[in-house]
Amino acid sequence: MKNRALIITAIMSLIVSNVTAQFSMEWTGPQLIQEPVNSDIEFDFNLINETSSTLELRWRLIENDFPTDKWDDYVCDVVCYDSSMRARDLDINSDTIFPIILHIATDNDEGFGTSQLCFWERADSAGTIQCITARATTCWNFVDTMEISHNSMTYYVIEGSVYEKSGTTYTMVGASSTISYMDCDLLTIGEDILEFEYSEFAEFTDYEEYVYNGEDIYIIDGSYYVYDGSKYVLQGDAEEDKVDGVNVVILDGDTFELFNNELVPLGFETVIESTLKVYPNPSSDIVNISGLQHGTAHVDMIDAIGRLVLSEKTNGEVNVSSLPAGTYSLIIKDRTYISTVQVSIVR
């Protein structure tokens, strides 16, 4: 048995059919809205009369194409009308900005639907018509047991694992988890992140990927995650911003900038490195690092021709016994600083 909870995704677009109209329209809210089903979704925009005369307009809900008769659309101008009111005359005073709200109310039925609302001047309906179209689709909030289709395959998600079915036999193919995204759930199957849109599953791409402390992190809707080899694990809060013209990423209150494709502390080049000590140098087997501010750090070793030859987390001890003799750049990184030390390895 499949249990489903649906989320509505709504996109609103403006169609201008004739530039001779003496009124204009502008958005005052987002054109893409996601809310749980059984919500009353509001599409906000303004009618603008920039003339010195009163404009005599008429609006009409031209048509809708909903997947079920349980969906409704209605309009608010001076007051809100029920869905039986499909047209109304409206006078807009001179130099006036007049707010309008188009609503789409949905229930638990999935699908894709549209609603079109048009305005025109009553004296010249053909030459001044302007329309807006609200588009709605559904995605899922996932539950422990459900059947899904992806890449022409049918999968069964059962209590955090993904199975394929052959006859009466279920074979586990990986782990699954969910990620919250704009009141909607994303489904992960292994490394794949999926969203439900237009009645089918598709690859989710609205995320940012960075390297932080030697790990790939994924920023999705104000949070960041790491992939632990089987599933995505929530790490904390994340925000992308700008500081003094520099693009930054804020992770759990700490601010980072992008350097050599990695997130490093903002202004890291000013960090005083005198607290760090690397010894012995030269070394033949073990390099010790003292003065780590957080007890552990991530280290990379780069050889003389720029190749990454070692990358690991350390609590202050780095084994270099497998590396050939030569001079290396030892890059020490943690949440608050980055430091590079030249290390010689002897044999």
Q: Are 156 and 187 in contact (CB under 8 A)?
A: no
Closest to 162 (Cα-Cα) out of 175, 177, 151: 175
pLDDT band per the 50, 70, 90 thresholds, residue 3: very low
Q: Give how many domains the chain has, as a whole number.
A: 4
243 lies in the same domain as 286:
no
279 lies in the same domain as 243:
no
pLDDT 10s digits, 77-127:
999 999 999 999 999 999 899 999 999 998 876 677 899 999 999 988 667
Domain that holds residue 117: 5-140
Q: Using the 3D structure, point to which of 249, 265, 281 is the last residue of a domain.
A: 265
Q: Are 224 and 236 in contact (CB under 8 A)?
A: yes
166 lies in the same domain as 258:
no
12 lies in the same domain as 119:
yes
Quick one: DSSP state of residue 283? Answer: B
pLDDT at 321 over 90: yes
132 lies in the same domain as 235:
no
pLDDT top residue among 330 and 31: 330
Which tokens is 61 given?
Answer: 């809900």
Q: Using the 3D structure, point to which of 244, 265, 286 is the last residue of a domain.
A: 265
Closest to 101 (Cα-Cα) out of 34, 23, 47: 47
> What pLDDT is recorded for position 289?
92
H-type alpha helices, the chain = 125-128
d(CA 77, CA 90): 8
31 lies in the same domain as 95:
yes
pLDDT top residue among 340 and 260: 340
280 lies in the same domain as 153:
no
> Look-up: residue for tokens 């000590």?
277
Closest to 52 (Cα-Cα) out of 84, 96, 118, 10: 96
Query: What is the rounded average pLDDT of the residues 238-262?
Result: 86
| 67 φ/ψ sector (left φ>0, alpha ψ -120 to 50, else beta) | alpha
pLDDT mean across residues, the chain: 83
pLDDT at 326 over 50: yes
30 lies in the same domain as 135:
yes
d(CA 138, CA 135): 11
Beta-carbon count within 10 A of 94 CB? 11
Closest to 347 (Cα-Cα) out of 324, 320, 318: 324
Closest to 61 (Cα-Cα) out of 136, 137, 132: 132
CB-facing half-sphere around the CA of 302: CA atoms within 13 A: 9
pLDDT at 19 over 60: no
Angle at 307 between CA 301 and CA 308, to 5 degrees: 40
pLDDT at 230 over 50: yes
User: What residues have CB less than 8 Å from 154, skipping those under 6 apart?
Assistant: 147, 148, 164, 165
> What pLDDT is recorded for position 194?
84
Instruction: Give phi and psi for 79, each to the nearest 5.
Output: -130, 175
H or E element in which residue 232 lies:
strand 232-243
Q: Are 108 and 6 in contact (CB under 8 A)?
A: yes
Instruction: Give phi and psi for 82, each to the nearest 5.
Output: -80, 175
> What pLDDT is recorded for position 234?
93
Q: Using the 3D structure, point to which of 121, 140, 159 is the last residue of a domain.
A: 140
> What pLDDT is recorded for position 327?
95
CATH number at residue 103: 2.60.40.10
126 lies in the same domain as 166:
no
> What pLDDT is recorded for position 184?
73
Strand 286-290 versus strand 317-319 pairing type = antiparallel
List the strands of the sheet with 96-105, edge to edge.
Answer: 23-27, 40-49, 96-105, 72-76
Query: What is the rounded average pLDDT of the residues 130-158?
Result: 76
10 lies in the same domain as 132:
yes
> What pLDDT is recorded for position 6?
47
d(CA 187, CA 180): 9
H or E element in which residue 171 lies:
strand 169-181
Query: What is the rounded average pLDDT of the residues 268-276?
Result: 56
The pLDDT > 90 percentage for the chain reads: 39
133 lies in the same domain as 183:
no
> What pLDDT is recorded for position 5?
42
pLDDT 10s digits, 180-191:
777 677 888 878
Query: What is the rounded average pLDDT of the residues 191-200?
Result: 73
Q: Are 195 and 189 in contact (CB under 8 A)?
A: no
SS3 at position 169: strand
CATH number at residue 320: 2.60.40.3080
135 lies in the same domain as 164:
no
